[in-house]
Chains A and B, each alone.
Chain A
């Protein structure tokens, strides 16, 4: 079955791209495909993934390994299981440096790791603790420190705050803003929560059922969403003062048997005849991109 299809996305240098979509819309799959760590049953059938002029799909496994962690890194959703429970935090750092630089000076690495922990806001002495001795927020901060340790050009954040409480989420969002200024890295921020992207992302790509339906600069997307799905997403964010909670009617399609034509048409209030037959292509609408027959 085709999970993600016909995706064309660019991330500029030092840009934060938000990638938003419902659960199961293929956001994570897309990220894993970029890093070429799809599970055994998944393969990239075609296309190109260009990174700094290199086609990642054509690289050998060893070349790819050198890129992971050093030039492109990733932070996962669940901080409770994304650190090895039997290794101390310091060993995570040591292993990362060893994986990329071979033999390393332990003292030097630990010093760097201490600095990194300070940057992400974890007490330095936690370096000698095991993951279970840290809180969920601290663990996620450690994961972020690991992701930025080797000064990568691109960090993919896969719902890094979804499993944490709102207070920690707010702190982490501040951290990301801070990191972007300080470390000058490009980020892809994957989330199902459109709201948290409003302050962070430069551009937002909206994904529905494995397809990108709209890519817009953040302000324009919130002010004037083009695609009916984006509109519905923004409307479904509850606001104070309104009694009504708006939802998108219907269910996300079964990817094993996606709807013909536009994949959103069964749930779209503006669906026309053409939507049921022809798949919309990406169109440029005033510097923004949208895949919808309305435009």
Chain B
């Protein structure tokens, strides 16, 4: 942004450039904000996933509580903010209420972060690794390989994501790795397409020709020079796919293809809570649902912030 003035109509010119300056400042602040807000949300969620049961007031899988060496049953379906008096000295507070089996909802959503995040992380890693490698190879090598891989990827892409994930999950069974694989399969084509497209446009750029003229061999050109340029497009998409993976994981758990009870999981709890909405016990499903929304929001904000930051066009400028 320049502060140069023009000889004619300098008053409006200055006002115009000040406004433009202000707008660009605001915009960069806005990007900054979406990135830092997203990172803050994610930091909290990741902290929950790591610390888990050390933070919870109650055991998330039990409907009983031990006070003074004696086991007490927790009443089910307590609304948020309820207190239960055990004896004269102890009164237990259930901030977010209890579910249909008398388990503390707060404890469950705190510990529920771990499973969903692990699955989403592993799924994103698997799909990115496979998708990016295939995209690089098929984009650069071209020919028959490109055609075959593209055909397979396009047919995978044509499937509705969730249906494909359900099919693979049903085939593989439950468990962290199986679920992650089922979700990963859905996202491989999107990485593949993006990287392949980037490689196709990159490989015709003069710098690739220049590298060949320098005597560079093909693997070095592809993995050391084209790949870093192609990965810009991925950086912004990673968090978004991560967010998508969280939703898909929740959906799979919701459908009973995820984790086996009583392990706390947002998707599973949302599904359970669904049955109690109509009877007015909204808190059982609402809070896990909100956690899913919040986590996804966090990833999307980070994705957007990163996308703006690493936009190659913005980097190239200046």
Contacts and interface: CB of A to CB of B under 8 A. Distances in A.
Contacts of B217: 65, 99
Interface string B163-176: 00000000000000
A132 B314 CA distance: 11
B221 to A, nearest CB: 10
B206 interface: yes
Interface string B191-233: 0000000000000111101111111110010001100110000
Contacts of B220: 95, 99
B311 to A, nearest CB: 13
A34 B225 CA distance: 24
Interface in A87-109: 87, 95-96, 99-100
B214 A87 contact: no
Nearest to A64: B215
Contacts of A83: 207, 210
B57 interface: no
> Which interface class (under 10, 10 to 19, 20 to 34, 35 or more) fits A?
20 to 34
A96 B214 CA distance: 6
Contacts of A87: 225, 228
A99 B312 CA distance: 27
Which of A70, A74, A82, A133 counts the most chain B CB atoms within 10 A?
Answer: A82
Nearest to B213: A74
A74 B229 CA distance: 23
Interface in A29-49: 35, 37, 39-40
Given A95-B216, A132-B316, A86 B229 contact: yes
A189 interface: no
B215 A82 contact: no
A70 B215 CA distance: 7
A81 B206 contact: yes
A82 B212 contact: no
Contacts of A86: 225, 228-229
B225 A69 contact: no
Contacts of A185: none
Main secondary structure of the interface of B (DSSP, over half): helix
A85 B312 CA distance: 9
Nearest to A72: B213
Nearest to A67: B215
A171 interface: no
A58 interface: no
A85 B315 contact: yes
B142 interface: yes
A208 interface: no
B70 interface: no
Given A37-B209, A76-B206, A84-B225, A132 B315 contact: yes
Nearest to A66: B215
A37 B207 contact: no
Nearest to A130: B315
Given A85-B229, A85-B315, A132-B316, A68 B206 contact: no
B214 A76 contact: no
A73 interface: yes
B229 to A, nearest CB: 5
Contacts of A69: 213-216
B318 interface: yes
B144 to A, nearest CB: 13
A242 B268 CA distance: 87
Given A82-B207, A86-B229, A95 B315 contact: no
A146 B210 CA distance: 10
Interface string B301-318: 000000000001001111
B270 to A, nearest CB: 42
A227 B216 CA distance: 41
B210 A40 contact: no
A37 B204 CA distance: 12
A40 B312 CA distance: 27
A66 B213 CA distance: 10
Contacts of A84: 207, 211, 225, 229
A40 B142 contact: yes
Nearest to B208: A84
Contacts of A96: 214-216
B206 A35 contact: no
Contacts of A66: 215
B229 A73 contact: no
Contacts of B142: 40
Given A65-B215, A68-B215, A84-B229, A143 B210 contact: yes
6 contacts: A39-B204, A68-B212, A70-B215, A78-B206, A95-B216, A95-B220
Interface of B: 142, 204-207, 209-217, 220, 224-225, 228-229, 312, 315-318
Given A76-B206, A99-B220, 20 more contacts: A35-B213, A37-B209, A65-B217, A66-B215, A68-B212, A68-B213, A69-B214, A70-B215, A73-B214, A74-B210, A76-B213, A78-B206, A81-B207, A82-B209, A84-B207, A85-B316, A86-B228, A87-B225, A96-B216, A146-B214
